[in-house]
Structure 1
Amino acid sequence: MIAKELYERYIGLRLLHDLNGADGKLLLKKGTVLTESNLKRLNIRVEELDKAVRQPFDCDHPSKLISEAANEIQAIFDKFKKDKEAIYEVETTVLPTVEFLAQQEELSVLLEGLQHKDNYTYRHNIGVAIVAAMLAKWLDFPEHERRLITLGGLLHDIGKLQISEHLLLKPGALSEDEYNSIKNHALYGYNILKKDTMYENVVCLMALEHHEREDGSGYPDKKTAKDIHPFSKIIAIADVFHAMTSHRVYRSGQALYTVLQHLRDEGFGRMEPTYVATFIQKLMELAVGQVVELSNGMVGKIAFVSPANPLHPLVQIQDDLVDLSKTKLHITRLVAND
């Protein structure tokens, strides 16, 4: 029997492979969602259970994994239009990849593999899910809640299935009517998930609320901080971060420093400030050792990130340490490490 403290981490996971006992007898079929009840009955080593719910990945090629995941979720969403059961393939084919990539906590995953302009609409779902999973972990959400948040990230924009592709991919500025049409995707997504899936309400809420803001300036319902689910607040931060850093056909992504500055400003009133502060701090910590270019054109490496002022770290330039918090300099861009 699996000890309770061990099996709790598997509740809600879906088997990627058949699970057999030591005698070769089938215990649970591929695709089964693990529950407290069926886990209690299992007489199997944790190692065997882990193999049945985890998928091996090539961690040397995160960009390839991200592209494959974007293509997979596009195929699933296309199938979903005719077969509503297809949506659950997200859990078996895409979610494990995203969870793996989030566990790596690699800045290069976020700033290289996720920024590519190809297939942006579906790559955005992957990007938001990875960023949301990382932030949920940094905020110490329990594992089963992190899994729901990651799933919510993958499905948060499903309402765009009811928006014309021409409008979604339109280069340049949108008219007011076009923008209002696109804004409907949040409500569309909620209705799709409530009507056509068996997902619990919190997953549906992440689709509905990811554009709501703490001060009531968001949409579709102008909810304020007390009425927005905490999971939706995480998706909102991940959504803004990925959208701003990503390259599009008609524009380049914005610099990491610029995006984090924007999020910091948003944290004062529009987004959950403690979540934003944690996100900025942890992301900048991932950048330690990263080569950066400063606003004066000089190049150095981030040496230390202060919790008091993470956007202005210590940067090593040759033999000198420059404290950006004591200068007017700032980071303009990250430079690919050799």
Structure 2
Amino acid sequence: MRKIATSQLEPGMILGAPIVSNDSMIELLSKGTKLSKRHIALISQMSIEDVYILDHAEELDESVEMDLTDLANRAHTEGKPFDADKLQKALDEIETHVYEPATRSAVNANMAVHVLTGEGNVPIDVKHEEALLDTKKVIENIKDDGELDLDRIRRNVEETLPDMIRNNDVLMRLNQLKASDDYTFHHSLRVSILASMIGKWLGYSEPEILELAEAGLLFDMGKLHIPEFLLQKPGQVTPDEFELIKKHAQFGYSILLKTRGVSNNIKYAALHHHERMDGSGYPLRLRENQIHDFAKVIMVCDVFDALISDRPYKKAISPIMAAEYLSWTSGKLFDSKVCYVLIKKLSEFYLGKTVKLTNGDVGKIVFIEENYPTRPIVQVGEKFVNLIKERSINVETLM
């Protein structure tokens, strides 16, 4: 296995380590992926500078071991706080868990949804600042005492949910949110909004949408056990660092397992949100119907928001390109129905938008073919660029 610059990537090369989105630590392309032109375009758009490539297929069988001593030494060298004993205790605890099969949620896709629509057009984090600050405080308290006050989380979600889902233009809603230094909480809030919207579009009942919103806020809390310097590391993490980061799904499940009143839907959303439909995910390598319904929604929201969010060491990609990534991984990595409803609903708000294309042209979306919602026709001056035919061109920015 060797590390090469992104500029040297060629179709047909095989990844020797996962492509992970910086900060959010989401596996976008798994180890062993045979790279295509689309893969390489995605990697380039995200400003990833280098990746690991396999020279021989048999290298896929090589396992990666975590070394906490080495990690502690690196943390000490960089002057970063790292409590190895506390982390080892958390690792020991999740090793004792027996992971039972998920209890599936019963969802009627044709069920009418009766949820308050809210009023006005005030951003959620302005209108509900007190509730969101309280939610953030509850989650931060887990670091100190290891306990989660679910009742406070639930009260705050019940207050904010009607305004989360009242407008189908979810991109407008996400863009309204002010930037936050606390990426993990801000990301969870955005996932909660996206998941609630998808639940609404899929016909979930009101109690299920409330529960899905709670799951969106709590699914990533296992990162509280991951050393901060790893979550903030610029560039791609090493394979052994990623092995530790992958434990956060089990850490989150462990915290929720000890919290009274947490439903199986929320527990399994946390445990399964990095599983993938083809079995390439983690931590349990589950496939298709083995993965909980809530997790199928959360994983799509998690990836989509990570892709469209700017971070200090990661360039955001456009919502249209993020939707295209979901489109060509739908059914393989992500649930087809969840991807379809998100992509379809997003496309309803693209028409008339000004965009910048990856070839530098700026124009306006004038037509969207129903079967190709991520490949619009863009008018640039007097000419029309049909992205269905011009496959090498993508929408770089929605303006």
Question: What TM-score, normalized by structure 2, do the two folds share?
Answer: 0.63
> Residues 1-338 of structure 1 correspond to what in structure 2 (within 5 A)?
59-62=121-124, 64=126, 71-80=133-142, 81-82=144-145, 84=147, 86-106=149-169, 107-111=171-175, 113=177, 116=179, 118-317=181-380, 323-328=386-391, 329-335=393-399
Paired AA for residue 241 in structure 1: F
The verdict on how the C-alpha distance between 1:148 and 1:251 changes in structure 2, with shifts beyond 3 A counting, is same
Kept after mapping to 2: 8 A contact 1:71/1:122: no
Kept after mapping to 1: 8 A contact 2:150/2:261: no
The verdict on how the C-alpha distance between 1:100 and 1:135 changes in structure 2, with shifts beyond 3 A counting, is same
The verdict on how the C-alpha distance between 1:97 and 1:57 changes in structure 2, with shifts beyond 3 A counting, is farther
The verdict on how the C-alpha distance between 1:157 and 1:83 changes in structure 2, with shifts beyond 3 A counting, is closer
The verdict on how the C-alpha distance between 1:56 and 1:260 changes in structure 2, with shifts beyond 3 A counting, is closer
Distance in 2, matches of 1:55 and 1:138, equals 14
Question: Where in structure 1 are there 5+ consecutive unaligned residues?
Answer: 1-49
The verdict on how the C-alpha distance between 1:54 and 1:67 changes in structure 2, with shifts beyond 3 A counting, is same
Kept after mapping to 2: 8 A contact 1:99/1:133: no
* Cα distance, 1:246 vs structure 2: 1.2
Paired AA for residue 139 in structure 2: F
Paired AA for residue 196 in structure 2: A
* Cα distance, 1:65 vs structure 2: 5.5
Distance in 2, matches of 1:297 and 1:225, equals 40
Percent identity of equivalent pairs = 33
- Corresponding residue of 2:25: none
The verdict on how the C-alpha distance between 1:200 and 1:141 changes in structure 2, with shifts beyond 3 A counting, is same
Kept after mapping to 1: 8 A contact 2:157/2:214: no
Kept after mapping to 1: 8 A contact 2:344/2:373: yes
Question: Where in structure 2 are there 5+ consecutive unaligned residues?
Answer: 1-113
Kept after mapping to 1: 8 A contact 2:377/2:384: yes
- Corresponding residue of 2:18: none
Moved more, 200-209 or 305-314: 305-314
Kept after mapping to 2: 8 A contact 1:152/1:207: yes
Question: What TM-score, normalized by structure 1, do the two folds share?
Answer: 0.74
Distance in 1, matches of 2:228 and 2:132, equals 16
Moved more, 132-141 or 294-303: 294-303
Distance in 1, matches of 2:196 and 2:213, equals 5
Distance in 2, matches of 1:77 and 1:128, equals 15
Q: Secondary structure at the match of 1:280?
A: helix
Kept after mapping to 2: 8 A contact 1:138/1:278: yes
Pairwise CA RMSD = 2.9
Paired AA for residue 225 in structure 1: E
* Cα distance, 1:187 vs structure 2: 0.7
Select the structure with the greater relative contact order (CA < 8 A; seq sep ≥ 6).
Answer: 2
Higher percent of residues as helix:
1
Moved more, 149-158 or 138-147: 138-147
Paired AA for residue 133 in structure 1: S
* Cα distance, 1:232 vs structure 2: 0.8
Q: Secondary structure at the match of 1:84?
A: coil
Kept after mapping to 1: 8 A contact 2:253/2:267: yes
Paired AA for residue 175 in structure 1: T
